[in-house]
A and B are shown apart, each in its own frame.
Chain A
Amino acid sequence: MLAEPDAALRAALRGNSDAFRVLYRDMQPRLLRYLRALAGDDAEDVASETWLQVTRDLGSFTGDYDAFRGWITTIARHRALDHLRSQKRRPPSIPVPADDLASRSAADDTAASAIEAVGTDAAIRLIAELPTDQAEAVLLRAVVGLDAKTAGKVLGKRAGAIRSAAHRGLRTLAKRLEPAAVDDERHVASEGVTRAEGLTLKDMR
């Protein structure tokens, strides 16, 4: 990560809306994909609520861009948990129910679709099907782009716990993907599966 995002953040903190727009474009897709795992179809609403709170509270934020990403992700997570609480769908301590996502038995199909088209939605769905702590750790690290320490702060855990949860998550994912790879190649990717962008995480930074 270069110094530029920090410059954009500083400009946004001074009230520059172009700079704020840059922050939005970087973080919104990441947050939305993380929130998809927490709040399902309500992810867009929760993301909007998150940004409204950010615009309101930005004046009280201090720190660099990495800290900003941790801060906004924490807000997003709190908004998601509030949302779930108000929906009374489930106790807040278990934020990702299997019902809200594709059912667990469908994991193999999702894996097959994901590996075929590797659409973003399918990939997120696949990660969201992991046990909650693994799913959150993988999403915060690989999609939101936080380091283990910052991800730990968001989830109220130690960096070591995040590392091992993410590690386990990747192993589970790989295991789920493996049989599909050698199995049936003709699983057709379903609706939400979009074009693979062919860009790596590195390109996003």
Chain B
Amino acid sequence: MSTRHSWKISRNAAKRLLDGHTGPDSDPLTRVLTAAAAPARDRELAGEQMVVAAFEANHLGPVVTPQKEHKSMLAKLLTVKVLFTSLAACATGGVALAASTGALTGSTSPHAMASPSQPAASWTQPAPSGSPSSAAPSASASNPLRVPGGSTGTQATSTASASASASPTAQSLPQGATALCKALIGDVATSTGVTSSQSGELQALSSSRLPGLLKRPEFSSLISITRSATTVPDYCALLLDLPQLPQPSDLAQLPSTVLGQLLTALPASTLSQVLTSLPSSTLSQVMTALPASALSQVLTSLPTATVTQLLNELPTSTLTQLPSSVLSQLPQSVLSQLPTSALSQLGL
């Protein structure tokens, strides 16, 4: 195909191009089509864990014979242990370590990415699959909060405690969780007929139908993140930037790392609305539960007046529990509003 009048493409030439039989590299159209259909980039597969977890929640179980499965599970566990031990050795941050620990205790799937016996690997797109090194980014990107579908309570707890040591500033809100929340709201809306406006979303999250719908298998990974079904509505509300919480008093029941990730990801205006509308006992619990770096980020992103208002709601006993490293960063105008008893206990 000549570079000069390449737009005079015959019907047959067009068909060949569209079928992937591209022309010479010098042809601009070929280059555009080739780039458009290039192999997957890692970020395009960021939701993989969540989607596979949803698949497992829906489809695992009755299909496999228990005996055989037991054996292969063991083999897989060994594989994953080796893989994640080496991953953990390479990992520089606590998050990656926590993610791999979580996957070890809970998951039956991440190792599939690196397993040499992966089915039909030969026809997958070459870039992100197959090699253990490519497993690292997606595992750490989507995993700190995730426990896969069929996990038990103990597994959820161990993951939560494993990631509790991770830095909460790693803002890896799981990509698929937003979609799960929306799907949940959609299901409630369908069964109750509420609209898809912002107030409709809040209404859906407060609906009495929600707990029943949450029992469906596809939402189990959502419950794994929040550790209990009762905190899912608040979790979804924060994830979707809704300014009000369906159950404000339950907010503090969320795992502290999850809470930190949610609150630090919120725009300041929403954050203000959420925090100032909390009952003061819940506010106390939330403030003391937040990891220091998340608390510091939250307080410094809020307007001074809001911080003052929030701190004034807290009893002195709670104030003294807040890390002094965080409080000492606050502007003098905020500090001067605090009760002197609190200040003296803080040594400020």
Stretch at the interface among B81-89, B176-184, B223-231, B278-286: B176-184
Contact of A201 (CB < 8 Å), options: B6, B11, B20, B182: B20
Find the B residue at minimum CB distance from A176. Answer: B7
Within 8 A of B (CB), among A4-20: 4-5, 7-8, 11-12, 14-20
Residue of A20, A25, A32 contacting most chain B CB atoms (<10 Å): A25
Flag whether A154 is at the interface (Cβ < 8 A).
no
Give the complex CA separation of A149 and B24 in angstroms: 27
Flag whether B66 is at the interface (Cβ < 8 A).
no
Flag whether A173 is at the interface (Cβ < 8 A).
yes
Find the B residue at minimum CB distance from A86. Answer: B196
Q: A18-B112, A55-B55, A55-B59 are in contact. Are A196 and B14 (CB under 8 A)?
A: no
Contact of B122 with A4 in the complex, beta carbons under 8 Å: yes
Find the B residue at minimum CB distance from A14. Answer: B63
Contact of A124 (CB < 8 Å), options: B6, B36, B121: B36
Give the complex CA separation of A197 and B42 in angstroms: 13
Which residues on B sit within 8 Å (CB–CB) of A29?
39-41, 44-45, 125
Give the complex CA separation of A194 and B43 in angstroms: 12
Stretch at the interface among B26-34, B294-302, B311-319: B26-34
Give the complex CA separation of A52 and B181 in angstroms: 11
Stretch at the interface among A92-100, A101-109, A164-172: A164-172
Flag whether A56 is at the interface (Cβ < 8 A).
yes
Contact of A174 with B29 in the complex, beta carbons under 8 Å: yes
Find the A residue at minimum CB distance from B186. Answer: A49
Flag whether A142 is at the interface (Cβ < 8 A).
yes
Contact with B along A96-133 (1 / 0, CB 8 A): 00000000000000000011001110111011000000
> In the complex, what's the smallest C-beta–C-beta distance from B10 to chain A, in angstroms?
9
Give the complex CA separation of A129 and B179 in angstroms: 27
Find the A residue at minimum CB distance from B3. Answer: A181
Contact of B33 with A201 in the complex, beta carbons under 8 Å: yes
> In the complex, what's the smallest C-beta–C-beta distance from B193 to chain A, in angstroms?
15
Find the A residue at minimum CB distance from B26. Answer: A181
Find the A residue at minimum CB distance from B33. Answer: A142
Q: A171-B7, A196-B31 are in contact. Are A142 and B120 (CB under 8 A)?
A: no
13 additional contacts, CB 8 Å, given A24-B51, A29-B40?
A14-B63, A20-B52, A29-B125, A45-B182, A52-B180, A55-B55, A55-B57, A142-B18, A171-B9, A178-B6, A197-B35, A199-B38, A201-B20
5 interchain pairs, CB-CB under 8 A? A20-B55, A55-B57, A58-B58, A123-B35, A167-B9
7 smallest A-B Cβ distances: which pairs? A201-B20, A48-B179, A174-B7, A15-B63, A123-B35, A29-B40, A177-B28
